[in-house]
Amino acid sequence: GNGTFASMIKAAAKAGARTEWSETVWKQLAAGIRFVPGQFDDDAAWKQLAETLAELDRDQGTGGNHAFYLSIPPGLFPTVVSKIKQHGLATSTEGWRRVVIEKPF
């Protein structure tokens, strides 16, 4: 869930911090961390992701700015990009949308 995921992120961020750790800054960042489980082709998971992003826009003031960072096998890019579009996540009337594709090697 969100708590376990946030704990893993905190440990990684703390280990890689190049400046003195700030619990105050971490708490601000952690307020926006969500874990949405699902398979790449699972429409229910994509619907939940869209709802979660709308919640973050509303509650955290992200303003519709969404970056989708794809560190996945190249064969899954078409499925994921298609689902991003299908579930209305590719465009916005406010903010920006980006898809970042990590090199698969």
pLDDT(101) > 80: yes
pLDDT at 85: 97
State the alpha helices, DSSP H only, in the chain. 2-16, 23-30, 43-60, 77-86
> In terms of C-beta density within 10 A (0-12 exposed, 13-18 middle, 19 or more buried), how is residue 46 classed?
buried
Query: Which run of H or of E encompasses 76?
Result: none
Query: pLDDT tens, 28-83?
Result: 988 889 999 999 999 999 999 999 999 999 999 999 999 999 999 999 999 999 99
57-85 CB burial, b ≥16 within 10 A, e <16: beeeeeeeebebebeeeeeeeeebeebbe
